[in-house]
Amino acid sequence: MSNERIDLNQFEAITKGKWEVINLPGGGIDIGVRYTNHGHKPIVNFTQRMGEQVSKIERDVADMNAIAAVPELIAELKDLRWKHMQVLRERKDLRDEGLRLAKKLDSERNRIESLIDALRIIRDDLDEISHFTNGAQVRKIRNFANDATQ
């Protein structure tokens, strides 16, 4: 099977309407669009002799049903392609959002690490000056800086 996509635009001019296998009163078979009980637009025509022959062969009946299903199959394929494109767009949007959040997370992580480093410096500086003062405020700040760096 080829990876090349079928150009569905080539089918835009097909006969509009629901295609079906129509058994004719004279024994022939048409594949076409029925407009009324007695009127239809044929797309493929089997003469009486050919109609009698193909109606007895399972594969030929399956082929006629497959031909009659062509417009529905094309419509389904168009719909699936459209849905597939939507999924691809959504996947790209999610990937882009994930990358944006990862950058933001890295930035926040760097900011937090810088704040922790600053608190370590404050803790260490307060440890050095705590020998010279017995202030409760210095102890509170040192304890906060110490707790925040754990």
pLDDT at residue 125 in the model: 75
Mean pLDDT of 56-68: 95
Higher-pLDDT residue of 125, 96? 96
Higher pLDDT, 149 or 33: 33
Helix (H, G, I), strand (E, B) or coil at 127: helix
- Please state the separation of Cα 74 from the chain's center in Å: 19
| Whole-number pLDDT of residue 136 | 65
Q: Give the pLDDT confidence score for residue 124 in this predicted structure.
A: 77
Cβ-based neighbours of 33, under 8 Å, separated by 6 or more:
15, 16, 17, 18, 19, 20, 40, 41, 43
pLDDT in tens, 75-124: 999 999 999 999 999 999 999 999 999 999 999 999 898 888 888 887 77
Task: Give the mean pLDDT of the chain.
Answer: 88
Q: Looking at residue 14, what is its pLDDT?
A: 93
**Which of 27, 8, 11 minimizes the C-alpha distance to 19?**
11
d(CA 76, CA 139): 74
What whole-number distance in Å separates Cα of residue 13 and Cα of residue 4?
22
pTM of the model: 0.65
Gyration radius of the chain's alpha carbons: 38
CA-CA-CA-CA torsion sign (80, 81, 84, 89):
negative
pLDDT score at 116: 86
Cα–Cα distance between 41 and 37 in angstroms, integer? 12
Label residue 149 exposed, middle or buried (CB < 10 Å: 0-12, 13-18, 19+): middle
Q: 20, 69 in Cβ contact below 8 A?
A: no
* % pLDDT > 90, the chain: 63
Compute the C-alpha angle 107/113/115, nearest 5°: 105
Q: Which pair of structure tokens corresponds to residue 24?
A: 């004719």
